[in-house]
Structure 1
Amino acid sequence: MLFIFKYLYIPIFLVLIIVGCSGQDKKDSADFFLKGNQALSQKNYAEALRLYDEAIAKNADFSDAYLNKGITLLKLNRTQEAYEVLTEAITIDPSLVQANLVRSEAGLDLGRLREAKQDLQLIEKEYKDSTRFYLIKGNIMEAEGNASLAIQEYDHSLQLSPKNVEALVNRGAVYYRLGSYPAAKADFQAAVTLRPDQPQALNNLGLIASREKKWGEALSYFDLVLNSNPADPYVLNNKGYVLLQTGEGSKAKELIERSLEKLPANGYALRNLGIYYQQNGQLDKALTEYLKAIDIAEPVEWLYGLAGRAYFSQNNKAEACKIWKQGVMLKDSISIAELAKNCR
């Protein structure tokens, strides 16, 4: 499965507040806030969250503490809570434009695309020279299915900062989906040059190598990711697919099943498990996995074509042609070829 960044790198806003004669509570709040920033910079997110809560308890109008608490919640994948906390920061201080920027990213992840766009529109003047602003804007365009506008925004982001790895990876992912594989490969390679351990770029280079049937090269990319994160469900599955193509079915099945344990609703992993069963002549089991993947209703390359082949191998031409016709509407290349050959 192709990787595109959902979360961007979120900078830590270390906002120093001036403590005057406003009382001990505000001084204590500032101390908790600064300690929270230190914990956040050390990726001690639970402690950072506790400290920001202490800061807010001492000073309920401390908008910067809400902002950094929202950032921390995003790091903990508590996106809905982060969105609410960032909204509180903006309510307290509408001029805190950093909170709009971070909230737009949280909104994107929650599927609140209209609100995410509105946040960016509110701060466009302040962020007209921000590579990150255009990166988020590109991500919103990509989520809306507008590939050409997404690429334009990523281009703008990279014009402002040619070393923006996230923009390179995300633009490459859009090129990949458009079938512009040389352009995608160039972006992923540029990202890896800047950051050799960048997992999304490495995974995506592995996918391109797989398309080129350079199986050894693909495995080397996937292994680089798995060496750092052995439980990554997407990369486990992608490596499993390569092993299916190189005659190592039992190892492939093990990896694909591990992937599904982590992420049961991965259509590509279900398809690949179906391929394993089909390779071993277990057509009923293959169809079970293919139909599970179809039920998820997400685009999975060759899924309908392979399911049709399984039906055809069972001498069930009617079901094969029916599912190939569905695949043709989804531009499934195997379905297009099989329908033309077998269902005149």
Structure 2
Amino acid sequence: MVISIKLNKILILLALIISSCSSQDKKDAADFFLKGNQALNQKNYAEALRLYDEAIAKNADFSDAYLNKGITLLKMGMPNDAYEILTEAIKIDPTLTQANLVRAESGLDLGRLREAKQDLQQIEKDYKDSARFFLVRGNLLGAEGNASLALADYDRSIQLQKLNVEAYVNRGAIYYGLKNLKSAKEDFQNALALNPAQPQALNNLGLIATKERNWKSALSYFDKVLSVTPDDAYSLNNKGYVLLQTGSPDQAKELIEKSLDKLPKNGYAFRNLGIYYQKAGQPEKAIEAFSKAIDIAEPVDMLFGLAGGAYFQQKNITAACKIWKQGIVLKDSIAIAESAKNCP
């Protein structure tokens, strides 16, 4: 009996000590979490990540720390890691709907459209007045090719948050894809009014200026991006295209190749490299570059028309007509014109 009583006292004492340590650990975790939030707000992502890890080490069930770690990883361009951490946050706390929203963003970056859609459907009722929700769902609808519904969600997002730079940029991109350049330009200009250095808005206005053959204006937009981010793959390539059109082929080639070093699967960059070789009288190399662009299997303006032209330059009429006919299906204006003129 005496031994039993002593053991009970020891067990009670141990329980009190464990409870005390647990309480201190949770306090320490909260301190790390708050410091992590401060670092995240200051865009010191590496430090934020370290602090959230410290918080999680102190409290393995700290769902908010997992959530904010996921947000940090997404901002660091690590969507796969973000997706895994956000999944852990949801396992710990299935009611943490913000984790579903951020995981949907990660899923979009990873091309996991079905999973992103499931996340958004699960939280839709809780986010009726969330500008971020409609932005992310608009992005999903755009990725699925549903332009009209995407535009409606971007409209709603902007209604809920007038200073929504990302929604203006993404809505403008939809308008650009629909060839509504007037509305696209207005959206990109609205984005720049809110953030004059917004790179996608600057780059896209450069593309519109390029379509309008306003070469000087186009170069100005691309240079503004490159002055801040010298290795921006899209602006490097787009500036290269303008230089091809304005008589600076060697400089253009250098920029296009830099773009491909940064982003190897860019169909537009391979198309532009093909244009360079075509202008240089090297149809074999042009065909090689055009073929790489076609293999990427993404829509690229004028690609099939130009590729057919390279075969035609080699007097390979059969191959030229074959590729032009492919271009007709894709509504490639050059392919349509050249096929009508040169093919039986």
- Give TM-score scaled by structure 2 length: 0.91
Is residue 203 of structure 2 the alignment partner of residue 203 of structure 1? yes
- What pairs up with 1:155-170 in 2 under 5 angstroms? 155-170=155-170
Q: Which amino acid aligns with 1:190?
A: N
Match of 1:66 in 2: 66
Q: In structure 2, what is the Cα distance between the partners aligned to 1:49 and 1:320?
A: 54
- Cα displacement string for residues 18-71 of structure 1 (whole angstroms, at most 9, x for unaligned residues): xx9952111111111122222222222222222211111111111111111111
1:125 is displaced (CA, Å) by 2.3
Q: What per-residue deviation string (whole Å, max 9, x for no partner) do you get for residues 153-210 of structure 1?
A: 1111112123211111111101111111111111111111121111100100000000
Over the aligned positions, Cα root-mean-square deviation in angstroms equals 1.4
SS in 1 for 2:94: coil
Which has more radius of gyration?
A: 2
The count of corresponding residues between Structure 1 and Structure 2 is 325
Amino acid across the alignment from 1:244: L
Match of 1:188 in 2: 188
Q: CA deviation at 1:243?
A: 0.5
Whole-angstrom distance in 1 between the partners of 2:305 and 2:172: 27
Report the Cα distance in structure 2 between the residues aligned to 1:188 and 1:271, rounded to whole angstroms.
25
1:306 is aligned to 306
Could you list the per-position Cα deviations for residues 133-155 of structure 1 after superposition, in whole angstroms to 9, with x for gaps in the alignment? 10001000001111111111111
Deviation (angstroms), 1:215 = 0.4
**Bigger shift: residues 138-147 or 123-132:** 123-132
Shift of 1:78: 1.8
The equivalent of 1:260 in structure 2 is: 260
1:245 aligned residue:
245
Q: Does 1:315 align with 2:315?
A: yes
Higher helix share: 2
Equivalent residue letter for 1:234 = Y
Separation of aligned partners in 2, 1:87 and 1:246: 51
Aligned to 2:89: 89
- C-alpha separation between the residues in 2 aligned to 1:80 and 1:261? 22
Between 1:305-314 and 1:36-45, the stretch displaced more is 36-45
The yes-or-no answer on 1:290 pairing with 2:285 is no
Alignment map for 1:145-160 (pairs within 5 Å): 145-160=145-160
Aligned residue identity for 1:154: Y
- Give the Cα separation in 1 of the matches to 2:264 and 2:107: 25
Q: Which one is further off, 100-109 or 40-49?
A: 40-49
Whether 2:129 is the aligned partner of 1:132: answer: no
Alignment partners' CA distance in 2, 1:55 and 1:239: 45
CA offset at residue 107 of structure 1? 1.3
Percent sequence identity over matched residues? Answer: 72
2:308 is aligned with what amino acid?
G
Please name the residue that 2:176 is paired with.
176
User: Which residue is equivalent to 1:7?
Assistant: none
Matched residue, 2:31: 31
AA matched with 1:143:
A
Higher relative contact order (Cα pairs below 8 Å, separated by 6+ residues): 1
Output the TM-score relative to the length of structure 1: 0.91
Query: Residue 223 of structure 1 corresponds to which residue in structure 2?
Result: 223
Determine the C-alpha separation between the residues in 2 that align with 1:21 and 1:297: 58
Please list every run of 5 or more consecutive structure 2 residues that lacks an aligned counterpart in the other structure.
1-19
Distance in 2 (CA, whole Å) between partners of 1:223 and 1:244 is 16
Give the corresponding residue for 1:109: 109
Q: CA separation in 1, counterparts of 2:261 and 2:84?
A: 32
Task: Supply the distance in 2 between the matched residues of 1:198 and 1:77 (Cα, whole angstroms).
Answer: 17
Q: Which residue of 1 aligns with 2:9?
A: none
Q: Distance in 2 between matches of 1:311 and 1:112?
A: 38
Bigger shift: 115-124 or 228-237?
Answer: 115-124
* Greater shift in the superposed pair: 102-111 or 234-243: 102-111
Moved more, 290-299 or 112-121: 112-121
- Structure 1 runs of 4+ aligned residues shifted over 4 Å read none
1:173 partner letter: A
Code of the aligned partner of 1:297:
A
